[in-house]
Structure 1
Amino acid sequence: MDLREMLADLRELVTCESPSDDRAAVARSAEVLAAIGHRRLGAHPERIVIDGRTHLRWRFGYGPPRVLLLGHHDTVWPIGSLAHHPYEVTGETLRGPGCFDMKAGVVQALHAVAALTNRAGVTVLITGDEELGSPTSRELIEKEAAGCAAALVLEGAADGGALKTERKGVSLYAVRVTGRAAHAGLEPEAGVNSTVELAHQVLAVQALADPALGTTVVPARMTAGTTTNTVPARGEFAVDVRARTTAEQRRVDVALTSLAPVLPGARITIEGGPNRPPLEAAASEALYARAEAVAVRLGLPPLGRAAVGGASDGNFTAGAGTPTLDGLGAVGGGAHAPGEHVVVAEIPRRAALVAALVGEVTGSE
Structure 2
Amino acid sequence: MRGSTACVMILAHHDTVWPLGTLADLPYSESDGIIRGPGCFDMKLGLAQSIHALSQLKERHGDDILEHVTLLVTGDEELGSPTSREIIENEVLPCRAALVLEAAGPGGALKTERKGVSRYQIEIIGRAAHSGLEPEKGINATIAAAEVILEIAELADQTVGTTATPTVLNSGTAPNTVPAKAVFDVDVRASTAQEQQRVDQSIRAINSRVPGAEVVVHGGINRPPMEHDAAISLFRDAQRIARNLGQNPLSEISVGGGSDGNFTAGLGVPTLDGMGAVGGGAHARDEHAEIAWILPRTELLRDLVEELVHKSES
Flag whether TM exceeds 0.5 (same fold).
yes
SS in 1 for 2:194: helix
Match of 2:97 in 1: 150
- 1-side partners of 2:37 and 2:264: how far apart? 29
- 2-side partners of 1:121 and 1:198: how far apart? 53
Alignment partner of 2:149 out of 190, 202, 222: 202
Query: Is the 1:147–1:322 contact (alpha carbons within 8 Å) kept by the matching residues of 2?
Result: no
The alpha carbon displacement at 1:86 in A equals 1.1
- 1-side partners of 2:149 and 2:107: how far apart? 37
SS in 2 for 1:363: helix
Match of 1:307 in 2: 254
- 2-side partners of 1:213 and 1:85: how far apart? 40
Match of 1:355 in 2: 302
Match of 1:46 in 2: none
Alignment of 1:182-261 (within 5 A): 182-261=129-208
Asked if residue 99 in structure 1 is aligned to residue 46 in structure 2, the reply is no
Alignment partner of 1:87 out of 21, 24, 28: 28
Aligned residue type for 1:125: L
Unaligned stretches of 5+ in structure 2?
A: none
Give the alignment's TM-score, normalised by structure 2: 0.96
Aligned residue type for 1:352: E
Match of 2:110 in 1: 163
Cα deviation, 1:283-323, whole Å, max 9, x if unaligned, reads 00100000000000000101100000111000011112110
Match of 2:279 in 1: 332
Give the alignment's TM-score, normalised by structure 1: 0.82
Aligned residue type for 2:24: A
Aligned residue type for 1:226: T
- 1-side partners of 2:23 and 2:127: how far apart? 50
The alpha carbon displacement at 1:345 in A equals 1.4
The alpha carbon displacement at 1:120 in A equals 2.9
Runs of 4+ residues deviating >2 angstroms: none
Q: Which has the higher contact order (CA 8 A, sep 6+)?
A: 2
SS in 2 for 1:253: helix
Query: Is the 1:68–1:122 contact (alpha carbons within 8 Å) kept by the matching residues of 2?
Result: yes
Alignment partner of 2:7 out of 44, 57, 66: 66
Alignment partner of 2:215 out of 259, 268, 271: 268
- 2-side partners of 1:256 and 1:313: how far apart? 25
Aligned residue type for 2:8: V
* Aligned length in residues: 306
Asked if residue 322 in structure 1 is aligned to residue 269 in structure 2, the reply is yes
Aligned residue type for 2:101: L
Asked if residue 285 in structure 1 is aligned to residue 228 in structure 2, the reply is no
Backbone CA RMSD of aligned residues: 1.1
Cα deviation, 1:258-297, whole Å, max 9, x if unaligned, reads 0111011111111110000000000001000000000000
SS in 2 for 1:303: coil
Query: Is the 1:87–1:96 contact (alpha carbons within 8 Å) kept by the matching residues of 2?
Result: yes
Aligned residue type for 1:77: W
Aligned residue type for 1:172: R
The alpha carbon displacement at 1:119 in A equals 2.3
Unaligned stretches of 5+ in structure 1?
A: 1-57
- 1-side partners of 2:125 and 2:183: how far apart? 9
Query: Is the 1:164–1:308 contact (alpha carbons within 8 Å) kept by the matching residues of 2?
Result: yes
Residue identity over aligned pairs, in percent, reads: 54
The alpha carbon displacement at 1:83 in A equals 1.9
Match of 1:23 in 2: none
Aligned residue type for 2:301: V
SS in 1 for 2:231: helix
